[in-house]
Structure 1
Amino acid sequence: MLNTESNKPIYVQIAEWLESEILNGNFSTNQKVYSQYQLAEMFTINPATAAKGLSLLVDNQILYKKRGLGMFVFSDAKEKILFKRKNQVLKHLIEEVVLESQRLQVSDEELILMIKSEQSRREK
């Protein structure tokens, strides 16, 4: 699940993995998430690295701490994650696709057809 070859720090990958778990419905509003020690064991990483990933989500108000009980999912966490991923990740991917399509002299219409074709294929 974690990519040790990536330029992306492990703690960021942990945070993104937890975000994906929330998006996939594996953690819901006010539900307790894994502790730093559980994450460290799951991914065979240092607990401090796992804690840094959790702290990143606390800083972004995806998770909140209950002293002595652990970390829990904010009520609007899913919406925040969706907003962030649409406006950062998806935007970046689209910029890359548009740039490459220009290099390959793919027309806008052809690019849109390619996207629609892929959407149709995934809906099946």
Structure 2
Amino acid sequence: MNGILNDQHLIYRQIAKMLEDGILSGEYAEDEQVPSTNELARVFRINPATAAKGINRLVDDGLLYKKRGIGMFVMPGAAAALRKRRQEVFAREKITALVEEAKSLGISADELLRLVEAQAKEESL
């Protein structure tokens, strides 16, 4: 697990996001074990209870499951569910804000689409 914690967000949320990112990137495949609470606590020098809170958030979201006495594992279908959820959040938060800002600047829908396509091309999407 790679990553750096910061003071901008709650630590347990950062731990959960790092694990989510690992699931999305394929670092943690379906039915594969994720780092334990103690491993996370040691690597990031945090309280094990804080690491557990981040892991438990993913259990509550249906992305991880527990094998008693062994550890936490990635739920089958977790990457697809996570990708869908993040796409919905992206559309709701980013696209809505983009369209509202374009409207306030007098940018037409066609021009906005051209701008997005040009940027995507530049970024090799």
TM-score, normalized by length of structure 2? 0.88
User: 2:11 matched to 1:10?
Assistant: yes
Alignment of 1:9-48 (within 5 A): 9-48=10-49
**Percent of aligned positions that are identical:** 39
Q: 1:46 to 1:121 in 2, by over 3 A?
A: same
Q: For 1:102 and 1:24, locate their aligned partners in 2 and report how far apart those are by CA, in whole Å.
A: 35
Alignment of 1:1-124 (within 5 A): 1-4=4-7, 6=8, 8-123=9-124
Secondary structure (helix, strand or coil) at the match of 2:19 reads: helix
Q: For 2:50 and 2:35, locate their aligned partners in 1 and report how far apart those are by CA, in whole Å.
A: 14
Structure 1 residue 45: deviation in Å?
2.1
Structure 1 residue 24: deviation in Å?
0.5
Q: For 2:5 and 2:91, locate their aligned partners in 1 and report how far apart those are by CA, in whole Å.
A: 20
* Deviations 1:69-109, CA, capped at 9 Å, x for gaps: 01000111011101110112342111111122222222211
What letter is aligned with 2:14?
A: Q
Structure 1 residue 32: deviation in Å?
0.3
Q: 1:93 to 1:72 in 2, by over 3 A?
A: same
Structure 1 residue 64: deviation in Å?
0.3
TM-score, normalized by length of structure 1? 0.89
Q: For 1:90 and 1:51, locate their aligned partners in 2 and report how far apart those are by CA, in whole Å.
A: 30
Give aligned pairs, total.
122
Q: For 2:90 and 2:119, locate their aligned partners in 1 and report how far apart those are by CA, in whole Å.
A: 19
Structure 1 residue 17: deviation in Å?
1.3
What letter is aligned with 1:3?
A: N
Structure 1 residue 20: deviation in Å?
0.8
Secondary structure (helix, strand or coil) at the match of 2:31 reads: coil
Q: For 1:111 and 1:46, locate their aligned partners in 2 and report how far apart those are by CA, in whole Å.
A: 47
Q: Which sections of structure 2, spanning at least 5 residues, go unmatched? A: none
